[in-house]
């Protein structure tokens, strides 16, 4: 499969047809088989997040192809991934959302915690969680990255919500917010939380729902 091919079976044939920007790692993964793909380890994730090299994160080749095909179909049926999420995953009505606090994640009714339907290619001990926010999360206009104040607010939220639940085990929790240009769902504010060896009880506590 050539570099400009995105999904098998012709669902999306050219890179410019992809529903979100493909990183170089994405393009490389699409030319791989699952057995040749090296899953992201916890140590690798710690390094990537601490150095803000988030563009190294990608999905397993088969998952990435399925995700791209799914995104393409969702775009056709709903107009955008955001519209699908609003209708099926977030019970907030249509945007712009009314939020209680202007500070992200300060009020429980202003956010929703969900397990990621399309996680990156992590080792099996890592659970990929997405936290959706009604409240805008300020980012730097030039870089698209978090401001220092936003980073502080998000860290405090992660500590009280996830780390405290794990008895203060900071070494079991990582988080990041993709730069704007890396986001596949740009219209809805969200951040990513990674938890190592999370129990079913922990996940049900955070999401407020029984696992299927």
- CA–CA gap between residue 173 and residue 77 (Å, rounded): 36
pLDDT band, residue 206 (cuts 50/70/90)? very high
Instruction: Specify the pLDDT at position 1.
Output: 36
Q: Please, are residues 55 and 23 in contact by the beta-carbon 8 Å criterion?
A: yes
- The DSSP code sequence of 49-97 is HHTT-GGG----HHHHHHHHHHHHHHHHHHSSHHHHHHHHT--S-SSSP
Instruction: Specify the pLDDT at position 186.
Output: 57
Instruction: Specify the pLDDT at position 20.
Output: 64
- In terms of phi and psi (left: phi > 0; alpha: psi -120 to 50; beta: otherwise), the region of 167 is left
Q: In whole numbers, what is the pLDDT of the chain averaged over residues?
A: 87
pLDDT band, residue 6 (cuts 50/70/90)? very low
pLDDT band, residue 52 (cuts 50/70/90)? confident
Cβ-based neighbours of 119, under 8 Å, separated by 6 or more: 59, 63, 127, 128
* Residue 85: exposure state from Cβ atoms within 10 A (0-12, 13-18, ≥19): buried
Average pLDDT over residues 1-5: 38
pLDDT band, residue 181 (cuts 50/70/90)? low
- CA–CA gap between residue 176 and residue 179 (Å, rounded): 9
pLDDT band, residue 21 (cuts 50/70/90)? low
Q: Given a cut of 70, is residue 72 above it in pLDDT? A: yes
Q: Given a cut of 70, is residue 2 above it in pLDDT? A: no
pLDDT band, residue 23 (cuts 50/70/90)? confident
**pTM metric for this prediction:** 0.86
């Amino acid at each position: 499969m050539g570099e400009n091919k995105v999904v098998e079976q012709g669902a999306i044939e050219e890179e410019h047809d992809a529903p979100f920007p493909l990183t170089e790692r994405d393009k490389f993964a699409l030319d791989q088989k699952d057995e040749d793909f090296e899953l992201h380890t916890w140590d690798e994730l710690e390094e990537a997040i601490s150095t803000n090299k988030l563009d190294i994160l990608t999905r397993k080749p088969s998952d990435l192809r399925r995700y791209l095909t799914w995104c393409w179909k969702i775009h056709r049926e709903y107009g955008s991934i955001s519209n699908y999420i609003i209708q099926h995953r977030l019970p907030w009505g249509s945007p712009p959302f009314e939020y209680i606090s202007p500070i992200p994640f300060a009020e429980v009714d202003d956010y929703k915690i969900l397990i990621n339907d399309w996680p990156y290619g992590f080792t099996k001990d890592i659970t990929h969680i997405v936290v959706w926010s009604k409240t805008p999360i300020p980012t730097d206009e030039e870089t698209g990255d978090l401001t220092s104040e936003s980073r502080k607010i998000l860290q405090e939220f992660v500590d009280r919500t996830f780390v405290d639940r794990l008895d203060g085990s900071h070494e079991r929790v990582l988080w990041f917010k993709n730069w704007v240009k890396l986001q596949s769902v740009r219209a809805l504010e969200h951040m990513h939380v990674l938890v190592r060896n999370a129990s079913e009880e922990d996940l049900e506590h955070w999401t407020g729902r029984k696992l299927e």
